Amino acid sequence: MSAKIFIDGESGTTGLGIRARLEIHPEIELLSLPPKQRKDPGAKQALMEQADIVVLCLPDAAARESVAIVASMGDRRPRILDASSAHRVAKGWTYGFPELGSGQAETIASAKRVANPGCYATGAIALLRPLVDKGLLPADFPVSIHAVSGYSGGGKTMILSYERGEAPSFEAYALGLEHKHVPEIERYARLARRPIFAPSVGNFAQGMLVCVPLFLGDLRSKPRGADLEAALAAHYAGGQFVKVVPAESSGKIEPQSLNGTNDLELRVFANDATGHAILVAKLDNLGKGASGAALQNLNLMLTRNPQDESMDLKAFVCSGQIM
């Protein structure tokens, strides 16, 4: 039996990515509003009443408005997958990072409301959470996170600026230290101290690197680089999309080789002689960082048994190219 899905905000970057993957799936029926009715609450509610799942690809304020419409629908309420940052740390919402920990995929599968993670947060949490859980990184450790993303993560205005050649080659931003991904990083990495997050954007369309530098001697357990790598590898063992891979011997890494995939690669660059390490996560900011992660969550939400995944959306969110 087909599932009916309404993408609220299907004309945005993430919405377009999700729609392109779902519209060719034989067991998915996509519901859509004419452009003139997309801001009509009555028309939106009527369509939502037909949907099994509503996917929100909207600015935060608009996402909250759509959630309020769903909440007013009583027994006719569809399930929600929100790709905005409005509900990632909100009460009553499940965080849509299946690899977060044991049982998280099953929790997503049964959840009524799922919040898709932020792109930067996906990389940062993937690196930090296993180390905190293993006791290698104290929860109150002063963590700093440095990241660079392709410009496609900045929305239509930024994309147009780069495509016209008007934007700088590289730009650091959010230097007011209030980036919207910080609360979810702090909560789901289980940090007891707010991290410093320094994001930046480069003159390339897609791809992302998230880096966490560490003074190993300042950690209570005095781990070596191999200890950090082993903890990460144990956490993600057997997973399909998150892999721990050896650090390049060149000491270099570029951000774009995973573009078009839902893969997330983690590396530990370490110098045990100096007691320094840099943890690095690589992902496609539009893949595992956005629409790919949404498809992975939809696959779980449409499956009673997460180990079975009977809707078989894996074919649309696979390692390698996603359609």
Q: 80, 54 in Cβ contact below 8 A?
A: yes
Q: Taking Cα atoms as reference points, which of 301, 296, 315 lies closest to residue 99?
A: 296
119 labelled catalytic: yes
* Residue pointed to by tokens 């950690």: 219
User: Is 185:125 a contact under the CB 8 Å cutoff?
Assistant: yes
Could you count the other beta carbons within 10 Å of the beta carbon of residue 105?
21
Going by C-alpha positions, the residue among 93, 18, 28 that lies closest to residue 58 is 18
> Which residue reads 């690589």 in tokens?
282
For the record, the structure tokens of 300 come out as 């779980």
Kindly tell me the number of DSSP H helices and DSSP E strands found in the chain. 9, 13
Helix/strand/coil for 5: strand
Give the whole-angstrom CA distance, residue 19 versus residue 300.
17
Q: What is the side-by-side order of every strand in the sheet holding 113-115?
A: 28-31, 3-8, 53-56, 79-82, 113-115, 94-95
182: CB partners within 8 A, 6+ apart: 194, 195, 197
222 and 216 in contact (C-beta within 8 Å)?
yes
Q: Is 26 left (phi over 0), alpha (psi -120 to 50) or beta?
A: alpha
**Active-site choice (57, 119, 211, 318):** 119
Q: Active-site residues: which are they?
A: 119
